[in-house]
């Protein structure tokens, strides 16, 4: 299965879906630093800039992306978002390419229903569920996923992911055996000014995360974003899709589609 990636960041979806056996056909990312990281790890993959100027691209089996969340993130408090909501552009690309699968990652927010309705209007069956990175790394990080698939396949795929649900809207890769480390990986300017991220560990308390730890907490190998300042690396890692979550979803898509 081949994948087109929107809002690629540093390649969380690509790395996870690659682990599930998929091939990356193209990427779309406008941040120069993120593009440099993508170029290092996927040098032969075509790369495009701003989604609002995306040219005609190769048709793919899977279209994935985590569109920017500031317009719906609780981290901004009650301040007005300065970033545009690009969810509509995501849907426009899905409508143009008509991939078999569409996978969207974002923070939990009520307007996820708008995106789900958009997929439904395009003719997709929609499955919504949440994953927490604590099932894959020592980080507690909840994200909401919407998966669009052919309507006839919706019930089967829903069972494939929701059979793992803990009853509270979360799908889990395995039973929780111990409390996770609660990590703060964020691009919020108040914390980025100090260029630090923190972790609370039982019996140890609060301490600083180094950048390699932050990368591992998102499922990337240490040094994935090497070559940039600490603050830039933390921002890129904090905005990334968790690799473990992506791989878990990708494996289910591949096994279901086989």
pLDDT digits (tens, 9 = 90+) for 205-228: 777 778 898 899 899 999 999 999
pLDDT bucket at 178, cuts 50 / 70 / 90: low
Residue 203, Ramachandran bin (φ over 0: left; ψ between -120 and 50: alpha; else beta): left
Instruction: Look at the domain 2-173+242-257 and name its fold.
Output: Rossmann fold (3.40.50)
Q: What is the pTM of this model?
A: 0.85
Highest mean pLDDT among 16-30, 58-72, 124-138: 16-30
All structural domains of the chain with their residue ranges: 2-173+242-257
Q: Of the given ranges (19-23, 41-45, 192-196, 248-252), which has the lowest mean pLDDT? A: 192-196
pLDDT confidence tier of residue 182, bands split at 50, 70 and 90 = very low
In the numeric block, which tokens belong to residue 22?
């998929």
The rounded distance, in Å, linking the Cα atoms of 177 and 55 is: 47
Report d(CA 120, CA 196) in Å as an integer: 41
pLDDT number for residue 64: 98
Q: 195 — alpha (psi -120 to 50), left (phi > 0) or beta?
A: left
Which pLDDT score is estimated for 160? 85
3-state secondary structure of 106: strand
Asked if residues 162 and 120 have their Cβ atoms less than 8 Å apart, the reply is no
Buried b (16+ CB within 10 A) or exposed e, 148-181: bbeeebbeebbebbeebeeeeebbebeeeeeebb
pLDDT in tens, 72-85: 555 544 555 556 78
Burial per residue of 49-80, b for 16 or more beta-carbon CB atoms within 10 angstroms, e otherwise: eebeebeebeebbbbbbbbbbbbbbeebeeee
Each residue's pLDDT tens digit, 33-84: 999 999 999 999 999 999 999 999 999 999 999 998 755 555 544 555 556 7
């Amino acid at each position: 299965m081949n994948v087109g990636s929107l809002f690629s960041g540093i390649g969380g979806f690509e790395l996870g879906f690659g682990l599930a056996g998929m091939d990356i056909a193209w990427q779309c990312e406008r941040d120069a630093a993120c593009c440099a990281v993508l170029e290092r790890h996927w040098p032969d993959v075509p790369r495009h800039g701003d989604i609002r100027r995306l040219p005609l691209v190769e048709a793919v089996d899977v279209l994935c992306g985590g569109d920017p969340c500031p317009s719906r993130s609780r981290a901004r408090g009650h301040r007005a978002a300065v970033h545009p909501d690009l969810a509509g552009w995501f849907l426009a690309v899905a409508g143009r390419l008509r991939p078999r699968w569409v996978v969207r990652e974002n923070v939990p927010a009520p307007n996820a229903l708008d995106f789900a309705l958009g997929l439904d209007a395009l003719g997709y069956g929609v499955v919504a569920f949440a994953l927490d990175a604590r099932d894959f790394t020592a980080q507690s990080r909840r994200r909401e996923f919407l998966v669009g698939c052919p309507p006839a396949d919706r019930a089967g795929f829903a069972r494939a992911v929701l059979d793992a649900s803990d009853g509270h809207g979360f799908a889990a890769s395995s039973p929780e055996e111990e409390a996770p480390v609660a990590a703060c990986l964020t691009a919020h300017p108040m914390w980025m000014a100090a260029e630090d991220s923190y972790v609370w560990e039982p019996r140890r308390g609060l301490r600083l995360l180094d950048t390699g730890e932050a990368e591992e907490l998102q499922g990337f190998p240490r040094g994935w974003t090497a070559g940039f300042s600490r603050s830039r690396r933390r921002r890129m890692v904090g905005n990334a899709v968790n690799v473990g979550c992506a791989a878990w979803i990708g494996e289910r898509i591949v096994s279901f589609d086989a």
